[in-house]
Structure 1
Amino acid sequence: AYPSVQVQQAKDLLGVWMASIKTFLLLYLLLLYICNNNELLSAARIGIGGYWEILLNSSGVVAMHMALTNRNTVIMFDQTGAGPSAFYLQHRIDGRRCTTSYQDINDGTCWAHSVEYDILSNSIRPLQLQTDPWCSSGVLLSNGTLIQTGGYADGYRKVRYFMPCSDKSCDWIESNSELAADRWYASDQILPENDRVIIVGGRRSFNYEFLPKSFAEEEVFELPLLRQTDERRVEDNLYPFLHLSSDGNLFIFANQDSILLNYKNGKIVKQFPRLEGSRNYPSTGSSVMLPLDHSDGFKKVEIMICGGASPGAFNAAKEGRFLNGLRTCGRMVITDENPKWEMERMPAPRMMNDMIILPTGDILIINGALQGSAGWTNAINPELRPLLYRPTDTPGNRFSYLEASKIPRMYHSTAILLPDGRILVAGSNPNERYSYTNVDYPTELRAEAFIPHYMDSFYDDQRASNLQVGEGTNLVRYGERFTLRFMLMSKPKNGMGFHVYAPPFNTHSISMNQRMLKLECVELVREVNGAARAHLIAPNAIAAPPGYYLIFVVNGGIPSEGQWLRFIH
């Protein structure tokens, strides 16, 4: 019996050894195949939901506010009252030299509080602010000028302009005219007519005004909604959400309530159902107008609001209790006869989140925290994972997590879409000054890009390129037919889209004036050697107020890089 046991053991060992050899050979062949197959490697990268890349180790200033310009630069700025930043100037704004003396080093006017980031060269240059734009508002005018309104203390009623230029000589200019009321935590919306801007709300300002004024003595117009939604000792109605509707009226959301305002005569056209939960600053959720579509003449307008803080979260945080943020999102077609909120749940709570429209028309929810409230040191547990929301998928299947960042983006962080399809993320400073040690969440100066899956080289063969609008002027008149030329080496996919995007002014989880339209293509012509041209119909000025937009060709869900065009009357 003993020899037979020994033989059996030998057979068993041989079987294990043969199985190991087979496994090794299979793994070797698989690795050999992968290493010689770039497409499979790309597919593996795609599967992790995009990736992150550090662009700047220091932006010099905290990017509390951020806006993309038509010169492919990004304006970033902080408050001026936070003391020294991380970008020391050679001269003050009045021309006096900044030395290495103790007095100058501790003088806030010797430090930059605004920079211009050049996307192509990946570099920054300092800009100089004259007054404090802390928690201010802004919008881009039709000629590309960034108009910036309000702020704190000496900036309460100030109006600032930045007109981007190619020779890097441009800087902030302050208007001699002032606003009619203090505008701290207000919101701006560009209007269809003559570069007119409406400015709504702000701390203890339960009203709105226009810029430019209709006449020199024009003052403010009362807005009862803001007084009615003001929570004592909390507010929860600052930075109200504004969206220009397809009928020319203005959707205004504050705290839990919303109205449709005819801003021309000051009358409330419609009152909408309440959306439960605290959604505006300091509870700070975010809102977006889902892409408008040519198929209904850009008439259907659907608003989506996600996240925010639990009732009482602001005061609880001051006592060291950090309540969970909100998991809910509400979607409402405000142009319906009987509109109502359709509720959805995110995979986890979230507040201080940004909502960015991607070139595909999907929504990226990014930045923020799981618990607490906006405000100094009021939140904990950063949410590092972006969420992708696909509005046209079936309910229950619309949310998916993407690759996580390693950098917390808490209070005073920002995010914007870049022309190539990346998302620029910067800022975060829940501290009253620039603080790098002995705090839970240090001042963050690194700027990074989130690169979505659609930018992977795996998709290059179906990505349109070399976009050219018209004859190169990039000017498009409303309602007219215009030509978009581009290169596409593969056959166009069914449902090829032509999307135009208005870049927003971003601060405090609100992207002012962000909107996307899906344009009508009346003819698509393929020429030789991959050349193609699409004949498109421009929208109207209410659907797309005058100004610069990025146009993307979306082929099978894969967008091109954006090309600037300018809608004009």
Structure 2
Amino acid sequence: MRSRRSSILTIATSLVLALGLSFGAISLGTIEGPEEVGQWSAPIDVGVIGIHAALLPNGKVLLLEHIYTPGKGNLAKVFDPVTLQVTDVTLPYQRNVFCGGHVFLPNGKLLISGGEINLNPGGEVGEGTPDSTLFDWTTNTWTETGTMAFARWYPTDIALGDGSQLVFSGRDERGQERIKQVERYNPATGSYTTLPPSADQDTNGLYPRTLLTTDGKVFLAGPDRNSRMFDPSNNTWTALDKMNHGRREAGGVVMLPDLHTVLTAGGSSTNTAEIIDLNDPTPQWQYTGPMAFVRNHGNYTLLADGTVLANGGGTDPLPGPPALEAELYDPSTGTWSTMAAQQVDRQYHSSAVLLPDGRVLTAGDDDGLPGEMTTVEIYSPPYLFQGPRPKIRSVPSSIHYNDGFMVRTRQAAEIQRVALIRPTATTHGFNMDQRYVDLGFSLTNGNLAVDAPSNGNIAPPGYYMLVILNGNGVPSIAKFVHLD
């Protein structure tokens, strides 16, 4: 599927070539190159609907969907975006992790909490399961882990600074009641503990949008308009300002790189966006620049330069007119810029993740059209067309809190930014754990002396992509490091 704008550009380009004119000889104001709007790859069939997508610490992407085989679990694949190789990693035992919550553990394994209890085609949708599952990226294998006290369908998982994980919300095993109780997962024991009643979550619906703050609290922002702050140290909630737009069902929420400003955009058939500064004494939502397109069920991905890519989505009711053109949000200006258009209509049940080389993979969609749902597309942002990339020669495989480490690069004198980016796991338009952490650094003996984060509230323990950027905003290919 191609947008009308893309078709017009193709016709205009053909006319210029037919007339024997060069692009340098005339000015076509509507024609923009990849250095301005980026570039999408052609769709690549990977044999799975990427409803859930997770970037593994080896640079490959785990994709899984709702289809399952009798006697087994969900269809799942691991896709290598460099070699384009696809590996089947279908769950070998009966388990339906579709519509579960997911988060990376400190050892890099992916925890999936809950999902659907039903394993039979034609059964009821939305009945939760208390089961949890781990995916080991080093062996491409699945194992069972602790069982929650409550069944959960559409829960949200979030990593805390101490290395544990919290699970919020979800629907029960009958598909009727939303779970108010919050549970904590202990990776060392593989078990869950239910928090006391003061931690019960009364608002914000299914797949609540949660973000870790630098003081160790959890900020909830959507899908309803209520904002709340949870303090894991005493298991209490504090009500904060309400969003201006109202409920943003299937909207996006992103913690920006300063780690105290939160962006919410789209959802509920709107193109509006809002920000809130959690460092303010009385944080209040205020509108920022609107998007050019309505994005219900869109995806919002932090890029290697700290900007935010919005792609996919469309207008309700589903399937409504799609938003094929991507958009880029610049936190420094509070404005969106329209980017290149993807070919495939990706709305409900789509996903997107940032890759180590700075590109973005988008997958999924569940509109019933054959031949499109099992494809992925890969977007190259404009920063990949701004000249040579810096290159990391070496970096320690492990770095430690409140400690320094060296990054060796021949372009050290050109580097203007060093950052850690947490691998992302996305479903239903929400990336449950993405995080961009700027690092302090200095030029030392022709290399970079870099300061690791001071504690886990700034960057929870686990694997990260380390990236360096030059003065043109061009990122290196990231190197994976383990932070503890």
Report the TM-score range of the alignment, normalised by the length of the smaller protein: 0.7 to 0.9
Verify the 8 A CA contact 2:147 2:192 in the aligned structure 1: no
Say what the alpha-carbon RMSD is for the aligned residues.
2.6
Match of 1:291 among 247, 250, 257: 257
Match of 1:186 among 155, 166, 169: 155
**1:118 CA displacement:** 2.0
Match of 2:140 among 170, 174, 177: 170
Q: Which runs of 5+ in 2 are unaligned?
A: 1-15, 26-30, 119-127, 172-177
Q: Which has the larger helix fraction?
A: 1
> What SS does the aligned partner of 1:206 have?
coil
Verify the 8 A CA contact 2:398 2:482 in the aligned structure 1: yes
Could you say which residue in structure 1 is the equivalent of 2:87? 125
Deviations 1:402-427 (A, max 9, x none): 01011100111110000001100111
**1:286 CA displacement:** 0.6
Verify the 8 A CA contact 2:185 2:192 in the aligned structure 1: no
| Distance (Å, rounded) in 2 between the aligned partners of 1:158 and 1:284 | 25
| Distance (Å, rounded) in 2 between the aligned partners of 1:218 and 1:32 | 64
Match of 1:487 among 399, 405, 410: 410
| Distance (Å, rounded) in 1 between the aligned partners of 2:188 and 2:37 | 49
Could you say which residue in structure 1 is the equivalent of 2:179? 205
> What SS does the aligned partner of 2:315 have?
strand
| Distance (Å, rounded) in 1 between the aligned partners of 2:294 and 2:40 | 23
Could you say which residue in structure 2 is the equivalent of 1:423? 360
**1:119 CA displacement:** 2.7
| Distance (Å, rounded) in 1 between the aligned partners of 2:470 and 2:263 | 25
**1:467 CA displacement:** 3.8
Could you say which residue in structure 2 is the equivalent of 1:379? 319
| Distance (Å, rounded) in 2 between the aligned partners of 1:422 and 1:492 | 22
Could you say which residue in structure 1 is the equivalent of 2:430? 510
Larger radius of gyration: 1
Change (3 A) 1:223 1:414: farther
| Distance (Å, rounded) in 1 between the aligned partners of 2:387 and 2:230 | 44
| Distance (Å, rounded) in 1 between the aligned partners of 2:251 and 2:198 | 22
Q: How many residues align?
A: 440
Deviations 1:281-337 (A, max 9, x none): xx2001000003xxxxxxx5111110110xxxxxxxxxxxxxxx1121110011211
- The letter of the residue matching 1:46 is P
Could you say which residue in structure 2 is the equivalent of 1:53? 41
Structure 2 matches for 1:443-522, cutoff 5 A? 444-456=373-385, 459-460=387-388, 463-470=389-396, 474-488=397-411, 492=414, 496-522=416-442
> What SS does the aligned partner of 2:184 have?
strand
Could you say which residue in structure 1 is the equivalent of 2:60? 73
| Distance (Å, rounded) in 1 between the aligned partners of 2:108 and 2:267 | 32
Could you say which residue in structure 2 is the equivalent of 1:559? 475
Match of 2:460 among 545, 556, 568: 545
Change (3 A) 1:128 1:33: closer
Change (3 A) 1:271 1:335: farther
Change (3 A) 1:45 1:182: same
Change (3 A) 1:80 1:178: farther
Runs of 4+ in 1 over 6 A off after TM superposition: 213-217
| Distance (Å, rounded) in 1 between the aligned partners of 2:438 and 2:429 | 24
Deviations 1:331-385 (A, max 9, x none): 001121111112022223221111111111111111111333xxxxx33101001
Could you say which residue in structure 2 is the equivalent of 1:156? 129
| Distance (Å, rounded) in 1 between the aligned partners of 2:395 and 2:343 | 39
TM-score, normalising length: structure 1: 0.72
Match of 2:98 among 121, 130, 134: 134
Match of 1:361 among 306, 309, 312: 306
Structure 2 matches for 1:201-280, cutoff 5 A? 201-203=169-171, 204-212=178-186, 218-222=193-197, 226-229=201-204, 237-254=205-222, 255-268=224-237, 270-279=238-247
Could you say which residue in structure 1 is the equivalent of 2:175? none
Could you say which residue in structure 1 is the equivalent of 2:294? 349
**1:157 CA displacement:** 1.0
Q: Taking every aligned residue pair, what percent have the same amino acid on both sides?
A: 25
Could you say which residue in structure 1 is the equivalent of 2:450? 536
| Distance (Å, rounded) in 2 between the aligned partners of 1:517 and 1:190 | 15
Q: Which runs of 5+ in 1 are unaligned?
A: 1-23, 35-42, 82-106, 230-236, 293-299, 310-324, 373-377, 437-441, 527-532
Verify the 8 A CA contact 2:356 2:477 in the aligned structure 1: yes
TM-score, normalising length: structure 2: 0.85
Deviations 1:44-96 (A, max 9, x none): 7335511111362x221111101011112111111245xxxxxxxxxxxxxxx
> What SS does the aligned partner of 1:541 have?
coil
**1:182 CA displacement:** 1.4
- The letter of the residue matching 1:560 is S
**1:266 CA displacement:** 1.0
| Distance (Å, rounded) in 2 between the aligned partners of 1:286 and 1:137 | 16
Deviations 1:398-457 (A, max 9, x none): 2110010111001111100000011001111134xxx62xxxxx751111101111112x
> What SS does the aligned partner of 2:202 have?
helix
Verify the 8 A CA contact 1:209 1:221 in the aligned structure 2: no
| Distance (Å, rounded) in 2 between the aligned partners of 1:307 and 1:428 | 17
> What SS does the aligned partner of 1:75 have?
strand
Deviations 1:483-519 (A, max 9, x none): 0111329x626xx000110012100011011100111
Verify the 8 A CA contact 1:429 1:443 in the aligned structure 2: no
Change (3 A) 1:386 1:80: same
